């Protein structure tokens, strides 16, 4: 796994990747936001940027959405005594992602980013209510 964090790098790719790490709270090697304190690899950050057409704010929203999914597997593990921090991570990352998406929108192009990447706000409120109402 390659971890690069040089926020003042003259190399635009390294600079952009470093800014994305900073926004996602992934700027310290071996102390990342993923389970087991893992960091995202450089190529994973490049994929997030590709999927969001190099928009740093939308790419960081996608990272928080991904983190919510990674931490969700811990949401069902209970133990006696005080609630563990791991159980709340998924909800916290999900709320952060939702806030970023509400402010910065979604990439409306296809997933490979070949359509110019215009931002658009998609209101999922009714869909969410319908889905949650089924349970």
CB 97 within 8 A of CB 68: yes
Mean pLDDT of 5-31: 96
Q: How many domains does the chain have?
A: 1
Q: Which two tokens stand for residue 103?
A: 């402010």
The residue behind tokens 């209101």 is 123
- Residue pair 58/48 in contact by the 8 Å Cβ criterion: no
Residue 20 placed within a domain: yes
Is residue 1 included in any domain, yes or no? no
Does 106 or 54 have the greater pLDDT score?
Answer: 54
In the prediction, which pLDDT does 9 show? 95
Residue 73 has pLDDT above 80, yes or no: no
pLDDT at 135: 45
- State the pLDDT at residue 113: 47
Does a structural domain hold residue 4?
no
Question: What whole-number distance in Å separates Cα of residue 11 and Cα of residue 31?
Answer: 24
Share of the chain above pLDDT 70, in %: 70
> Is residue 3 assigned to a domain?
no
Q: Would 117 be classed as within a structural domain?
A: yes
Residue 94's pLDDT band (cuts 50, 70, 90): confident
> Is 123 exposed, middle or buried (CB count within 10 Å of its CB: 0-12, 13-18, 19+)?
exposed
pTM of the model: 0.67
Domain annotation covers residue 70 = yes
In a domain, 7, yes or no: no
Q: What's the pLDDT score for residue 107?
A: 74
Say if 65 falls within a structural domain. yes
Distance of CA 98 to the CA centre of its chain: 10
Residue 128's domain spans which residues?
A: 12-133
List the beta bridge partners of residue 119: 107
Q: What is the mean pLDDT of residues 43-51?
A: 95
Cα distances (Å, whole numbers) of residue 83 to 16, 69, 111, 117, 123:
37, 19, 37, 41, 32
């Amino acid at each position: 796994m390659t971890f690069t964090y040089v926020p003042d790098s003259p190399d635009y790719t390294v600079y952009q990747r470093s800014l994305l790490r900073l926004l996602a709270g992934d700027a310290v090697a071996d102390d990342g936001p993923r389970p087991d304190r893992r960091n995202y690899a450089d190529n994973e950050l490049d994929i997030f940027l590709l999927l969001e057409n190099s928009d740093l704010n939308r790419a960081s929203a996608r990272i928080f959405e991904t983190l919510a999914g990674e931490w969700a597997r811990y949401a069902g593990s209970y133990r006696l005594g005080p609630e563990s921090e791991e159980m709340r991570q998924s909800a916290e990352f999900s709320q952060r992602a939702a806030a970023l998406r509400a402010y910065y929108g979604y990439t409306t192009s296809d997933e490979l980013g070949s359509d110019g990447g215009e931002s658009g706000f998609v209101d999922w409120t009714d869909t969410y209510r319908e889905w949650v109402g089924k349970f």
